[in-house]
């Protein structure tokens, strides 16, 4: 069995699921989702609490039970055993794999058939080989709202470019702000200019938790449509709408990363920020697909 620890918002959960799904398919074994971290609402300083959101999609949802998790519970002896196994071609029966760093960890592709995954796994290199299956898995399970259907029709009728502005807890939470930061006005202006040079007939669809920020800071002559009706547990519908746009300008956010990655338009252009984190403690070089443009 492959068990994956879910943590973070919807975009993070999608990364974690995608890698675990890839391994479960390759090893022809069960995929279980560990939701205990999300369910733990005990006090954590400078922490944004999240809920399980993957059930909005057509994902394979099987929740890990205590009897499953206890097989992978870490202790000192298991850590020593796993360390010793790392010098041999053999693998322990039950392997606990914690992501060692942010950039692509190639050895993670060669784990035991019974593995617990603990990490973010934010690179398409972990799951690109099952893209066709993920396009199905990450399609909305139920009918989207009438308003979303209306916006979808408009998007399909024009040369639509999604633009995501992430503010929210990236601004209000001091810890998140010091770690993630937000994309600058210059980034969005440069991205709009580049897209506009390619597509003079473009219509920009603005997805943001703070639409007033865009209105107050960005000036453009292109037609603008604000998408503001999906909040909270309906936010997955914004990922769906972003994926319907022909091109995408993303924020330093896994949320809009997925909106762009799920976009199936064969000639799409995706623009992503060159600086993903405010501080440089993590190497994000494997996060952005090679065909995307970094500004």
Looking at residue 182, its pLDDT comes to 86
Backbone angles phi, psi at 260, to 5 degrees: -75, -40
| CATH assignment of 143-294, among 2.70.98, 3.40.50, 3.30.460, 3.30.160 | 3.40.50
The number of beta carbons lying within 10 Å of the beta carbon of residue 145 is 13
C-beta of residue 205 within 8 angstroms of C-beta of residue 245: yes
What confidence tens digit (pLDDT) does each residue in 183-221 have? Answer: 999 999 999 999 999 999 999 999 998 888 998 999 899
- Closest by Cα among 32, 36, 38 to 4: 32
Mean pLDDT over 29-37 rounds to 96
What's the mean pLDDT when you consider all of the chain? 89
Quick check: 74 pLDDT over 80? no
How far is it, in rounded angstroms, from Cα 28 to Cα 24?
6
**pLDDT band at residue 172 using 50, 70 and 90 as cut-offs:** very low
Looking at residue 70, its pLDDT comes to 87
What confidence tens digit (pLDDT) does each residue in 224-237 have? Answer: 999 999 998 999 99
Q: Which range is least confidently modeled, 15-19, 21-25, 66-70, 259-263?
A: 66-70
Distances (CA, A) of 238 to 72, 85, 227: 36, 44, 8
Looking at residue 143, its pLDDT comes to 85
What confidence tens digit (pLDDT) does each residue in 249-262 have? Answer: 999 999 999 999 99
| pTM: predicted TM-score of the whole model, two decimal places | 0.90
C-beta of residue 205 within 8 angstroms of C-beta of residue 223: no
Contacts of 60-69 spanning 24+ positions with Cβ under 8 A: 60/21, 60/31, 60/137, 61/33, 62/30, 62/31, 62/32, 62/33, 63/32, 63/33, 63/34, 63/35, 64/3, 64/32, 64/33, 64/34, 64/35, 68/1, 68/3, 68/32, 69/3, 69/34, 69/36, 69/116
The number of beta carbons lying within 10 Å of the beta carbon of residue 3 is 24
Domain boundaries defined on the chain: 2-132, 143-294
Q: Of 116-120, 165-169, 218-222, which has the strongest mean pLDDT?
A: 116-120
Higher pLDDT, 115 or 281: 115
Query: Residue 285 CA to chain centroid, in angstroms?
Result: 15
Distances (CA, A) of 71 to 80, 92, 98, 117: 16, 12, 15, 13
How far is it, in rounded angstroms, from Cα 68 to Cα 168?
36
C-beta of residue 210 within 8 angstroms of C-beta of residue 168: yes
**pLDDT band at residue 93 using 50, 70 and 90 as cut-offs:** confident
Q: Of 45-49, 71-75, 80-84, 212-216, which has the strongest mean pLDDT?
A: 212-216
Looking at residue 79, its pLDDT comes to 55
C-beta of residue 251 within 8 angstroms of C-beta of residue 274: no
How far is it, in rounded angstroms, from Cα 64 to Cα 2?
10
Higher pLDDT, 76 or 41: 41
How far is it, in rounded angstroms, from Cα 116 to Cα 34?
9
Distances (CA, A) of 236 to 28, 55, 140, 156, 188: 29, 10, 8, 18, 23
How far is it, in rounded angstroms, from Cα 53 to Cα 44?
21
Quick check: 171 pLDDT over 50? no
């Amino acid at each position: 069995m492959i068990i994956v620890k879910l943590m973070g918002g919807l975009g993070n959960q999608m990364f974690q699921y995608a890698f675990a799904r890839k391994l479960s398919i390759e090893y022809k074994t069960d995929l279980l989702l560990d939701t205990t971290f999300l369910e733990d609402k005990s006090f954590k300083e400078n922490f944004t609490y999240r809920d399980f959101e993957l059930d909005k999609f057509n994902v394979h949802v099987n929740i890990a039970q205590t009897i499953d998790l206890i097989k992978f519970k870490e202790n000192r002896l298991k850590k020593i055993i796993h360390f010793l196994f790392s010098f041999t071609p053999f693998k322990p029966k039950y392997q606990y794999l914690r992501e060692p760093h942010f950039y692509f960890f190639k050895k993670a592709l060669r784990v035991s058939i019974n593995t617990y995954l603990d990490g973010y796994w934010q690179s398409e290199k972990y799951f690109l080989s099952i893209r066709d299956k993920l396009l199905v898995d990450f399609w909305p399970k139920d009918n989207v709202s009438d308003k979303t259907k209306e916006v979808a029709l408009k998007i399909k009728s024009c040369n639509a470019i999604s633009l995501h502005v992430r503010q929210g807890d990236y601004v209000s939470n001091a810890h998140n702000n010091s770690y993630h930061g937000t994309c600058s006005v210059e980034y969005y202006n440069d991205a709009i200019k580049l897209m506009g040079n390619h597509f003079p007939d473009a219509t920009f669809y603005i997805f943001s938790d703070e639409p007033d920020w865009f209105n107050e800071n960005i000036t453009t002559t292109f037609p603008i449509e604000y998408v503001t009706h999906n909040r909270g547990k309906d936010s997955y519908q914004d990922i769906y709408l972003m994926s319907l746009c022909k091109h995408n300008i993303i924020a330093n956010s896994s949320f809009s990363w997925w909106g762009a990655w799920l976009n199936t338009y064969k000639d799409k252009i995706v623009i992503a920020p060159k600086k993903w984190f405010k501080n440089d403690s993590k190497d994000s070089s494997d996060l952005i697909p090679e065909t995307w443009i970094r500004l």
